[in-house]
Amino acid sequence: MQLLILTSAPDNDVLPALALLSHSSRVIPASADQLISAPDSDIVIVDARTSLTAAKSLCQILRTTGLSVPLLLVITEGGLAAVSPDWGVDDVVLDTAGPAEVDARIRLNAGRVTRNDPSPTIRAAGVVIDEASYSAKVHGKPLDLTYKEFELLRFLAAHPSRVFTREQLLSEVWGYDYFGGTRTVDVHVRRLRAKLGDQESLIGTVRNVGYRFNVHEDDDERVPSSVRP
């Protein structure tokens, strides 16, 4: 299991029990600007031991930007009373929890995503993407996309607001064995925008960096259709 740990603690020893488990983990600073280049993970863990206010804000940002993996909160026993549903976390674990409990929480939360999302539907900013049927709609209107256009839209929409370089998109959408240049990405983005019509601004350009899927706080997040109201 690949874990992403967000913490501001200088020692990075957020959950000591993890040292006794086989999960791989990556630690990054607990700040919103670090999320742009954050690596993919199966579980995201936020450290709330020292600042409840900052941790709550970070958790809410993660949910607003469409986090699609379980979000776990590491907290001290004294901070438990402050956690509420509006934090947007899937589970909490005490920083003193033993390896058996930590492993169980990781496995159960990861398994819950698998059971509830066997054929995920991506919903973001009025775009609905059905990965099972390789179909996409924008505000109910079907989009006539080529395979690569669909894959590009799917990948960007699955990571809303996250910026990807052209090289990253080539790797993720076209694969490592693709020998074409980064201009291929620009061409497909231009075609995709044309097919999105008046919603072309959903594919945003970040000057001198790359592209991202634009969303707003009131837009739908990436959630399985089976659990949406």
Q: Which residues of the chain have pLDDT under 70?
A: 113-120, 176-180, 216-229
- Total structural domains in the chain? 2
Domain hosting 17: range is 2-116
Residues 128 and 221 in one domain: yes
42 C-beta neighbours (distance < 10 Å), count: 16
Last residue of a domain, one of 92, 116, 140: 116
> Cβ distance 101 to 115 under 8 Å?
no
Beta carbons within 10 angstroms of residue 74's beta carbon:
24
Same domain, 88 and 152: no
In this predicted model, what pLDDT tens digit does every residue of 14-72 receive, in sequence order? Answer: 999 999 998 889 999 988 777 777 777 889 999 999 999 999 999 988 887 777 788 99
Residues 147, 58 share a domain: no
- Same domain membership, residue 169 and residue 85: no
With 0-12 / 13-18 / 19 or more C-beta atoms within 10 angstroms meaning exposed / middle / buried, residue 178 is exposed
The pLDDT score that the predictor gives to residue 181 is 76
Order across the sheet with 210-213: list the strands.
164-165, 210-213, 203-206
Number of Cβ within 10 Å of residue 39's Cβ equals 8
Q: What pTM was computed for the model?
A: 0.52
